[in-house]
Structure 1
Amino acid sequence: MLTRRSFIAGAALGAAAMLSPAAFAASATDKDPSAWIVELMNDTLNDIRKDPALVKADPTKVHTFVNNRIMPVVDFAKMTRTAVGPQWRQATASQRQQLQDGFRSLLTRVYSGAFSSVKDYKAELVPSRAAASSTPIIQTRMVSKTDKPISVEYRMQREGNTWKIIDVNVGGVWMVQNYHSQFAGVLANGGIPALIRSMNDKTSSLNQKAKK
C-alpha cells in the first residue's frame, strides 16, 4: 500500500511532469523559481484529478507522462549519479544507461499509483530567507482539509538559462539521498551489475503486484 509520503513524493515529481513547454520556457528567465514551483504543483494536482487514466495509473499513460513531461524538467542524470554515488565513475557507458533506465522505471512504478489519492491537496509556498544559491531549496507545503500539512522541499539547479529539479524532500526525507542509502548495501556486495539487477527485480515485483 502506498504511504502518505509516497503520494506526496509522487505528486511532487508529477508536478514537474505536468509543466507545459510554454510555462517551462517562461520559467527559464525567472530569478526566483519559488512561484513557478507552487503554480506548477497546483496545476498538476488539478490536472491529475481531471485525468482518469493517470488516477488509475494506466501503464501506457504513465510511461508517456514520464518520458514527455518529467524528463525535460528534471536533471535525471544527476539524480541517478547522486543516488549511485562514487561507483558511478566505475560504470561503463552501457551500465550508466542501464542505471538511469532502471532507476526511472523503479520510480515510475513506485509512485505511479499515488495519483489516485490527490483528493483536495493544495501546494503553498513557505516563506524563507534562504541565501542566493545556484542550487536553492524551495520550501513548500501540501495542505488538505482532512490531513495535516506535509512539508515538501525542492532542490533546484540552474543549468544555463533554465531551472531543473535535482531532488525532492518529503516530510524530512530527501528522495535521492534515501535511495543512495538503499543502493549502498547492494553496491557494496555486488557492485554496479548487482544494482542494475536489483532495480529491475524490484520493478518487476511491483509490476506483478499491480496486476493482482
Structure 2
Amino acid sequence: MRIVRRGLLLAGIAASVLAMPTILTVPSTVALAASASQAAAPVGPVQRLDNALIETMQNAEQLKFQGRYDKLAPVLNAVFDVPEMTRIAVGPMWNDASEADKAEMTEVFGRYMATMYAARFNGYKGETFEIADSKPRDGGRVLVITKLVRKDQEPVELSYLMKGEGDNWHVTDVYYNGSISQLAQLRSEFSAPLRDGGVKNLKSVLETKIKQLQGGA
C-alpha cells in the first residue's frame, strides 16, 4: 500500500502522558484510520476498472462491440486522466496546438482508448484480476500493480501510474508486464502522423483507426 511519510513530534509527550491519556489515545486511532484511507485511495479507481473489464468480458458476446464500448467508455473517462494522457502521447507538438485543436484531440483520444479496450476485451475464459501491490513513485504518484490471472497461462502484469490527492486519483499511464508504457507506445505510433500534418492530421488518423477497430470487433 502507499507509504505515507509523517514527521512525529516527540518532545513533550513523556511529560504529558500521565496527565492527558485520552488526548493521546484518540488522535492516534483517528490518524491510523486516515492513513489507511489515504493508502487505499489510489487503488479504488483501478479496482473499479478491473471490475468493469471482467463484467464486460463475461458478457462480451451478448454485448457486442457497441455494448462493450458503452459499458467501458464512462469508466475509462472517469478513471483515466484523459487530457493529461493525450498531452503526453502527443508530445512537444501539443504546445503548438490551438486550444480548439487540443480539445478536439482530447475527445478523439478518449474515444480511441475506449475503442481499443472494447475491441481487446472481447471474450471470457475464466480470467480474474488481482491487486498485487501499491508503491510510491516520484512526485507523490503511486504505482498500483495488478495481475490478470489466466487459466493454464502465465499471468499478465498491468500496472497503473496514479496521480492525485485525497480521494481524487486518476491513471496517467499503463505499464504492461512492469516495463512497457502504453503512452510511450502511443507516442511512437503518433510520431509519423504528427510529423506529416501536426495534431489535425493525428486526429484524422485516429478517427480512421477507430472505424477500423469497430469494423474488426
When the two structures are superposed, what TM-score results if normalisation uses the length of structure 1?
0.71
Instruction: From 143, 151, 158, give the equivalent of 2:149.
Output: 143
Once the two structures are superposed, residues 169-202 of structure 1 have per-residue CA deviations (whole angstroms, 9 ceiling, x without a partner) of: 1223211121011112221222122211111122
Give the letter aligned to residue 192 of structure 1: V
Are the aligned partners of 1:54 and 1:115 in contact in 2 as well (CA < 8 Å)?
Answer: no
Q: Is the 8 A contact 2:146 2:157 kept in 1?
A: yes
2:78, 2:46 → 1: CA distance? Answer: 18
Q: Residues 43, 109 of structure 1: CA spacing in aligned structure 2 closer, same or farther, 3 A cutoff? A: closer
- Determine if the alignment matches structure 1 residue 207 to structure 2 residue 214: yes
2:85 corresponds to which of 67, 79, 82: 79
Q: What residue is the counterpart of 1:108 in the other structure?
A: 114
Task: Report % sequence identity.
Answer: 22
Q: Which residue does the alignment assign to 1:19?
A: none
Structure number with greater CO (CA < 8 Å, separation at least 6) is 1
Aligned ranges 1:45-60 → 2 under 5 Å: 45-52=53-60, 55-57=63-65, 59=66
Kindly report the root-mean-square deviation, in angstroms, between the aligned alpha carbons of the 2 structures: 2.7
Q: Could you state the TM-score of these two structures normalised by the residue count of structure 2? A: 0.70
| 1:28-177 equivalent positions in 2, closer than 5 A | 30-33=38-41, 35-36=43-44, 39-40=47-48, 43-52=51-60, 55-57=63-65, 59=66, 61-127=67-133, 130=136, 134-159=140-165, 161-171=167-177, 172-177=179-184
2:19 aligns to what?
A: none
Q: Is the 8 A contact 2:116 2:213 kept in 1?
A: yes
Q: Which runs of 5+ in 2 are unaligned?
A: 1-36
Contact 1:48 1:54 in 2 (8 A): no
Match of 1:139, SS? Answer: strand
Q: How does 1:183-198 map to 2 (within 5 A)?
A: 183-198=190-205
**Helix, strand or coil at the partner of 1:116:** coil
Secondary structure at the aligned position of 2:38 is classed as: coil
Q: Deviations over 1:44-77 (max 9, x none)?
A: 35422553567522x2x34433453221222111
Number of residues of Structure 1 aligned to a counterpart in Structure 2: 180
